[in-house]
Chains A and B, each alone.
Chain A
């Protein structure tokens, strides 16, 4: 790996208190080594059962990782099929019904099985306890249950979509979904079960952060990734009950024939959309906030800088979490809700833009006068800034009432959410995966192939989805199997982009797998990181730390920081930034 391996351990790590310090559960890992014995790596137990019934947050994180990436593969193949079909304006390979099922399954898999658990359940599970110096999460059994529930929920959701040949789109809008033979109740049930799994994860993280921080780890010394996961956990816990209510109402309607959503029984079909988005919009922030957290870690570590505006970044996550509950109506500006409601939702939507902008500006400012290494993780962080800025700015178009009227339900929306979800969360995740891969697996991957793949993903992504902005503004509706011939050029471009993107992703898969078997051993701290996960062995031992770490400084106190640098420099920076700002 090209990064220097200075092996520096955070201050105070590895000294002081004996193992098992503060209020932790007795011994979270069944069958652990005898107390006092030198711990083996957390990977050292073998056998399938040692995985399936593990209570080690790191192993649970890895199992989630495999599951989630498996679903990404499924969703990705479906997306490629959709785009291949769109090469021709009249459809070539599939019937309309098949096409409709393909994008429904793609959307549902990507949203409910992939992007929602993507960061919290994998990197969050693995690193949150490490980063705060804990032995595990607060409730290891519940953590394991979360994974098992996830598997069950995924099975129910997939079964109900596939068995009933569901073609409603991932939003399951009534009355279409209740009038056709599709299994909207069992699908919603599957989503609800999945929601439960994320409640378990969320509750666990909240308690862990409150109760299990290492001595000296004050709130202000928590890595920003932990802050982001914490804010996400709060949303997870609060939003999921709404799904339960929706589900109950759907069942009530079916069983007792009271018209709630179904107009044929005197119900209000638009009501369902309110319920759906009242859950799903906060869920959008469950998807993106953890990505923000990763970016803060990547940018600081790979430029050896303190984060610019720690407080602002941490608090803006919380602000976003709160406001996210109040903007669901921006998905329904043309659905016939009152103008007053539309006005309020539009206004609150813009209110979310401010904390988001603050984050982006702060990340850019963090780069200023840093020592920027173009490692693979850093390239992903830079790609994130590029893509997420586009995703965020195009969100303004959709929040603007009159402009949204033209753009909603077109490919503009498809492009926008892919820039945010894939260009934002997924790219941040890839950065985080490369950043922490050596720590998780003990192996290094090829930096050269890492960079090549990153470039392909970046180019492929933009070709695929930027063309969709133009399709959208010109009036190409989404979920269209056939389209007017004038849209063909852009569709073809988009399909070509998706092939480049897929190639990049396959390369990543190949060199990461290769590194597992053939990769060089990774050092304890390949990037010179300062947060606690870099202070322990690589890969970490079952109990994370050989002895209870204590903390006496913030997470971004790199050796390279030039403390002597005086006030005048600050001023200079001020000028430079202001110059750009206006």
Chain B
């Protein structure tokens, strides 16, 4: 963390290639390097002007401090040459910065033709990633290193924003409209995806991971159905994985505390009081319905905000989730 003073003073990248610097997080995409070059240019330019302005202020304040009440002052009212200079020089610099920023922005905005296509859906409050060619649907983004990836994004509810600090990319994800962002990862590893447009209660929990894999690992990931095939796992283990990766855990705790949704600890077999005064017994059918058609029965004390998972989960996955919820304890 860039908190120590000595680190603050070094300011720039004295660290190994791609590592985090005082001002910027690690670089893991081609765009990161471009953006950072311009960022540091701006930073040094700003420091220069800051020192100039504040240096002159301090200098004058000390040198011309009032020593006696009648101290004479200069009658200067202006200086044409100087005023032109300090309008024109910054203006020229600003044109350079503008053009440089625009050039890089175009680079960020126009994906190369051969990019890998992935669809991104933002939804309160989780991300899902669909690989149309590979037929995979996942809740983490796995991509091969060194290959351009194009994300076509939309939202099912409100505006979200897809932000990967390590890649220096961000794009709003809007309902009824597609937005596009692309990147080419340069380092294998796992990076944070954050939602950067305020979207309500669990906005700050709307996180995901990008896994940048070597070409081989990526192929293996694709072959395994995106890590969510459940191969080699017990149904409960698989359900637990899905519970985390499908976004259930953003709203439902497994420790008894209520969040946006009711806790699922010890829920199986319980009698649930519903909005409208009825109640229902929590059995396999109730659980299944709550997942694919959450608005059908809303638990008392909660808002009907849960999104539907109809069409997003295969039967095997649904069963695994139900098994996992059972494993969280039953009420007699």
Binding site for B on A (CB under 8 A): 4, 6, 96-97, 100, 167-169, 173, 175-176, 179-180, 263-264, 266, 268-270, 303-312, 333-336, 339, 342-343, 346-347, 350, 353-354, 357-358, 360-362, 364-365, 367-374, 382, 385-386, 389-390, 393-394, 396-397, 399-406, 408-410, 470, 473-475, 477-484, 486, 489-490, 493, 558, 560-563, 565, 569-570, 573-574, 577-578, 580-581
B81, CB-defined interface residue at 8 Å = yes
Contact A389 B53 (CB under 8 A): yes
Interface residues of B in 141-181 (CB under 8 A from A): 157-159, 161, 163, 165-166, 168-172, 174-177, 179
Most chain B beta-carbon contacts within 10 A, residue among A4, A308, A486, A558: A308
Contact of A562 among B3, B24, B75 (CB under 8 A): B75
Min CB–CB distance B119 → chain A (angstroms): 16
* Given known contacts A176-B199, A370-B60, A405-B170, A570 and B101 CB-to-CB distance under 8 angstroms: no
- Tell whether A400 pairs with B108 under 8 Å between CB atoms, given A361-B53, A385-B54, A479-B203: no
Cβ-defined contact, A335 with B172, below 8 A: yes
Whether A308 contacts B76 by the Cβ 8 Å rule is yes
The 10 A-B residue pairs with the shortest CB-CB distance, nearest first, are A475-B165, A402-B104, A401-B105, A400-B101, A369-B74, A480-B204, A367-B60, A371-B71, A263-B176, A562-B72
Given the interface pairs A312-B78, A369-B64, A470-B23, the reply to whether A475 lies near B201 with Cβ below 8 Å is no
The 8 Å CB contact of B192, one of A167, A409, A475, is: A475
Least distance between A274 CB and chain B CB atoms (Å): 13
With the chains together, A307 CA to B227 CA distance in Å? 69
A358 touches B86 (CB 8 A): yes
Rounded to whole Å, the gap between the CB of B268 and the closest CB of chain A is: 27
Which of A334, A343, A364 sits near B170, CB closer than 8 Å? A334
20 contacts between A and B (CB under 8 A): A96-B201, A309-B77, A309-B78, A336-B172, A339-B109, A347-B98, A354-B94, A357-B87, A357-B90, A372-B61, A372-B66, A400-B98, A402-B105, A408-B170, A474-B20, A474-B23, A480-B203, A561-B75, A562-B75, A577-B82
B58 to chain A, nearest CB (A): 8
Query: A230 to chain B: closest CB distance in Å?
Result: 21
Interface residue stretch chosen among B44-52, B286-294, B321-329: B44-52
Q: Give which listed residue, A169, A347, A371, A403, contacts B64 with CB less than 8 A.
A: A371
Contact of A393 among B50, B72, B194, B197 (CB under 8 A): B50
Question: Do A308 and B171 have beta carbons less than 8 Å apart?
Answer: no
Give B90-137 interface residues, CB cut-off 8 Å to A: 90-91, 94-95, 97-98, 100-109
What separation, in Å, do the CA atoms of A392 and B81 have in the docked complex? 24
- Give the contacting residue for A373; candidates B66, B86, B169; CB below 8 A: B66
Closest to A181 in B: B303
Instruction: Report A-chain residues with C-beta under 8 Å of the C-beta of B219.
Output: none
- Provide the main secondary structure of the chain A interface: helix
Q: Which residues of A contact B60 (CB under 8 A)?
A: 364, 367-368, 370, 372
Query: Which residues on A sit within 8 Å (CB–CB) of B302?
Result: none
A374 CA / B66 CA spacing, docked (Å): 8
Given the known interface contacts A263-B175, A339-B106, A365-B82, the answer about A389 and B50 at a Cβ–Cβ threshold of 8 Å is: yes
Asked if residues A403 and B42 are in contact (CB atoms below 8 Å), the reply is yes
Whether B301 sits at the interface, judged by CB under 8 Å, is no
Q: Name the B residues within 8 Å of A270 (CB-CB).
A: 159, 172, 174, 177
Tell me, yes or no, whether B56 is within 8 Å of chain A by CB: yes
Cα A386 to Cα B50 with chains together (Å): 8
The reply to whether A346 and B91 form a contact with Cβ atoms under 8 Å apart is no
In which size bucket is the chain B interface? 35 or more
Contacts of A396 in B (CB 8 A): 42, 46, 94, 97
Which one of B98, B163, B199 contacts A475 once the chains associate, using CB atoms below 8 Å?
Answer: B163
Name which of A167, A176, A342 has the most chain B CB atoms within 10 A of its CB. Answer: A176
Cross-chain contact B200 with A574 (CB below 8 angstroms): no
Asked if B196 contacts A477 (CB within 8 A), the reply is yes
Contact status of A370 and B2, CB under 8 A, knowing A350-B94, A385-B57, A560-B71 = no
Instruction: Assess the B104–A176 pair: CB atoms within 8 A.
Output: no
Q: Nearest chain-B residue to A390 (Cβ)?
A: B50
Inter-chain contacts of B274 with A (CB < 8 A): none
Contact check, A581 vs B102: say whether CB atoms are below 8 A apart: no
Give chain B residues whose Cβ lies under 8 Å from the Cβ of A369. Answer: 64, 73-74, 76
Bound CA–CA A361/B56 (angstroms): 10
Which residues on A sit within 8 Å (CB–CB) of B105? 333, 339, 342-343, 346, 401-402, 405
Q: Does B332 belong to the interface (CB within 8 Å)? A: no
CB neighbours (8 Å) of A581 from chain B are 52, 82, 85-86, 89
Contact check, A400 vs B77: say whether CB atoms are below 8 A apart.
no
Give the complex CA separation of A307 and B76 in angstroms.
8
Residues of A within 8 A of B50 (CB): 389-390, 393
Contacts of B159 in A (CB 8 A): 173, 175-176, 269-270, 335
Closest A residue to B34 by beta carbon equals: A402
| A311–B89 CA distance with the chains assembled, in angstroms | 19
| Interface residue B205 (Cβ < 8 Å from any Cβ of A) | yes
| Residues of A contacting B64 in the complex (Cβ-Cβ under 8 angstroms) | 303, 367-372
